[in-house]
Amino acid sequence: MRLHAIPHSTNVHRVRLALALKGLDDVEVVQHPAGDRSGVRAVSGQDLVPVLETDAGEVLTDSMPIVAWIDATWPDPHPLYPADERARREVQAFIDFFNFVWKVPPNAIDAADPGDPRIPGWREQLRAWPVGFDALLADRPFLLGDRVGAADVCAYPFLRFATSVDPDDDDLFHGILIDALSEAPPPRLTAWIDRMSRLSPALAGPIANL
């Protein structure tokens, strides 16, 4: 398999995490320059990473559908998505919330002019959500269950910035997350970030070269 990436990519981090949790280390990672997507486009017909080329020659795009494909193809050591229909829909609802609601404020701040008057409101919204993630962890070690699952893989590459500040990381998007999340992160969320980092130590540090 071949994984197409750019440096610092949180969405690529999701796929790296899923591969690591499945013990799949025989994957070629092709790093493209962030400013030149011609190679990504040539492979996939679009510009965003991650892109996964499978051994069967399929070209997959979009991080969570790629994670779902990895999970369906290698369900061991345990599935990231539950088999039960209701539980699976709950996981998908979390992922849809994360991708289509939670990501809106940081992406909006990233795209805005620095003086945009809407920025404080977006930052406030981002600061309000961690208490909800903390509540999900009230009686279980992972976001939606007793074992690491797709919701954790979806959220960890973003929420980890609540506690991990790498002085060499000058990525603007990461700075937005650090600014909004790192002031007094709630305790169960902090413990979950630590738990997730210990599941895949190689992916816990700076992600510049992921």
Ligand X SMILES: N[C@@H](CCC(=O)N[C@@H](CS)C(=O)NCC(=O)O)C(=O)O
Binding site for ligand X (CB under 6 A): 6, 9-11, 47-50, 62-64
Dist. CA 52–CA 2, nearest whole Å: 6
Q: Map residue 129 onto helix, strand or coil.
A: coil
Kindly tell me which of 11 and 200 has the beta carbon lying closer to ligand X. Answer: 11
For the bound state, the minimum distance from the C-beta of residue 164 to ligand X, rounded and expressed in Å, comes to 17
Dist. CA 204–CA 210, nearest whole Å: 10
For the bound state, the minimum distance from the C-beta of residue 140 to ligand X, rounded and expressed in Å, comes to 25
Dist. CA 71–CA 22, nearest whole Å: 8
For the bound state, the minimum distance from the C-beta of residue 31 to ligand X, rounded and expressed in Å, comes to 12
| Cβ neighbours for 78, distance < 8 A, ≥ 6 positions apart | 147
Kindly tell me which of 9 and 200 has the beta carbon lying closer to ligand X. Answer: 9
Kindly tell me which of 6 and 144 has the beta carbon lying closer to ligand X. Answer: 6
Kindly tell me which of 1 and 48 has the beta carbon lying closer to ligand X. Answer: 48
Using CB positions, name the residue nearest to ligand X. Answer: 63
For the bound state, the minimum distance from the C-beta of residue 26 to ligand X, rounded and expressed in Å, comes to 22
Dist. CA 140–CA 146, nearest whole Å: 6
